[in-house]
Amino acid sequence: MMTRIPYSPWREDLYHPCKNARFFSDGLPCAREALCAELARLVYCPFEVDNTNEQKVRTILQGVGFENTQFFSTAGMQGFLTQSQAQHLSVLVFRGTESQEFTDLATDAQAWLTNWERGGKVHRGFAEALRPVWPTVQRSLEHRESTLVYTGHSLGAALATVAASKAPPTELYTFGSPLVGDEDFTRTLNNVVCFRYVDCCDLVTRIPPEVCGYMHVGKFHYINREGQVHVNPTAAFVAADRMQAREAYIMKYAWKIGSVGVRDLADHAPINYVSGIVGRVQESSS
């Protein structure tokens, strides 16, 4: 049984996901979604800064059986392809938005739809962000294992989705993903098994708005206010759960020094996706 993790309202966990973080505390997760959630958090570690950080990430991955990892970093976009021969598994992981990186914020802001090479229309910023790094990624994928999975959190989830349209993986796992393209774009992923995780009130998962022509990709997995996953819940269930979550957050966390002011932002923290999947310590006992 995996160690349960407390819900985090802290700004540090939202804006600096890797600072003081422990990864894979219980070893290699049995569930693919738990593995991907942790990898989507690990990719925030600044491996591009120096060899020490890169080696730290390699060591963590080797500890759970991923012996071969290729890093890529260009034009403010980072990620890695990590592979396990024993599991016959390759996982392509993209980093999400970093609040201190102007290029990431500029990418998120280019929210108008543009024609997509595979069909339909896609968020211009996401398409443009993937373009310079794609040749490097493509070369890496030439030597992948038999099962190929893409994943990422936030902007990383959006990039994983765009990449899945260009070169379809076996599975796609997204965490806290914004909307990426229109209905015709979603059809370009019809042959990919897509899992979309939304942590309760997470604001990022509701932008850009659907009224602008966007549509989400993948089966909806909703993490409720107590850290329990519901598959394709009704809109009424989600609305009621979010209302209770916001009210409880104001009373318990919003006023504390160091916390995020509102739950709609706090729920976007990568650690809250990990805890919602591997098991969350109930708020009443945290």
Instruction: Please check the confidence at residue 95 and state whether its pLDDT lies above 90.
Output: yes
Residue 281 is part of a domain; what is its CATH number?
3.40.50
**Per-residue confidence (pLDDT) for residue 106, from 0 to 100:** 43
139 is written with which tokens? 């070369």
Nearest one of 151, 165, 95 to 123, comparing CA atoms: 165
Task: State the total domains in the chain.
Answer: 1
Reported as a pLDDT band with limits 50, 70 and 90, residue 97 is: confident
pLDDT over 70 at 25, yes or no = yes
Contact 123, 180 (CB under 8 A): yes
What CA–CA distance (Å, rounded) separates 107 from 128?
A: 8
Question: What confidence score (pLDDT) does residue 285 get?
Answer: 38
Q: Provide the token pair at 283.
A: 């708020």
- Residue span of the structural domain in which 96 resides: 5-285
Choose the weakest-confidence range: 12-21, 94-103, 133-142, 182-191.
94-103
d(CA 141, CA 135): 10
> pLDDT tens for residues 30-75?
999 999 999 999 999 999 988 999 999 999 999 999 999 999 998 7
- Tell me which residue of 164, 272, 185 sits closest to 227, measured CA to CA: 272
pLDDT of residue 3: 83
pTM listed for this prediction: 0.94
For residue 124, give every residue at least 6 positions away whose Cβ sits within 8 Å of its Cβ, in sequence order, or none: 110, 111, 112, 113, 114
**For 247-276, what is the mean pLDDT?**
97
Judged against a pLDDT cut of 60, whether residue 283 lies above it is answered with no
Burial of residue 52 (CB within 10 Å: 0-12, 13-18, 19+) is: exposed
- Residue 108: pLDDT band (50, 70, 90) is low
Band (102; pLDDT cuts 50, 70, 90): very low
Specify whether the CB–CB gap between 80 and 47 falls below 8 A: yes
Mean pLDDT of the chain: 92
Q: How far apart are the first and last CA of the chain?
A: 19
